[in-house]
């Protein structure tokens, strides 16, 4: 049996960014995905940052005061409000922020309004309220 040749030295790994810098990168990735209507999962962001999903979520909450998912929803809701104010239809806004149906958009806006302690902004195509007579 022939002796094995020694392995060539491994290149030094790229230095990891500091945790605060990685968290900022993760936050930016979530924001970009939310504003462009892309779906993104926290484990995907955590993997890109070389963190476990649990550790990423814990650090994100400690740094920014909310979970990655809550931040994602906040950015989507704010983007939707801007688009609605610009006069886009509810269906178009829903599509642009990553929903299949306007009802999903209405649900997110109502949820965010309740969380923020404010009334939901009325959507352009919502059904009229019934008047009792």
Q: How far is CA 22 from CA 19, 30, 49, 55, 83, in A?
A: 5, 12, 6, 12, 30
pTM of the model: 0.72
Distance, CA of 12 to CA of 31 (rounded, Å) = 32
Distance, CA of 42 to CA of 60 (rounded, Å) = 10
- For residue 30, name the pLDDT band (cuts at 50, 70, 90): very high
pLDDT of 107 higher than 90: yes
Q: Where are the domains of the chain?
A: 19-116
Q: What is the pLDDT of residue 90?
A: 95
Tokens of 33: 């995905």
pLDDT of 13 higher than 60: no
Across 61-84, b (16+ Cβ under 10 Å) vs e yields eeeeeeebeebbbbbbbebbbebb
Q: Is the domain 19-116 a CATH 3.10.150.10 member?
A: no
pLDDT of 122 higher than 70: no
Q: What is the pLDDT of residue 6?
A: 66
Q: What is the pLDDT of residue 87?
A: 95
């Amino acid at each position: 049996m022939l002796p094995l040749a020694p392995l060539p030295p491994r290149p030094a790994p790229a230095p990891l960014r500091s945790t605060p810098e990685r968290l900022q990168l993760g936050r930016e990735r979530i924001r970009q995905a939310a504003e462009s209507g892309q779906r993104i999962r926290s484990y995907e962001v955590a993997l890109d940052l070389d963190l476990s999903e649990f550790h990423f979520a814990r650090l994100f909450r400690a740094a920014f005061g909310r979970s990655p998912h809550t931040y994602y929803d906040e950015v989507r809701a704010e983007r939707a409000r801007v688009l609605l104010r610009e006069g886009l239809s509810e269906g178009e806004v829903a599509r642009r922020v990553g929903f299949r149906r306007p009802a999903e958009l209405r649900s997110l806006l109502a949820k965010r309004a309740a969380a923020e302690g404010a009334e939901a902004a009325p959507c352009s195509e919502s059904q009229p309220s019934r008047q009792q007579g």
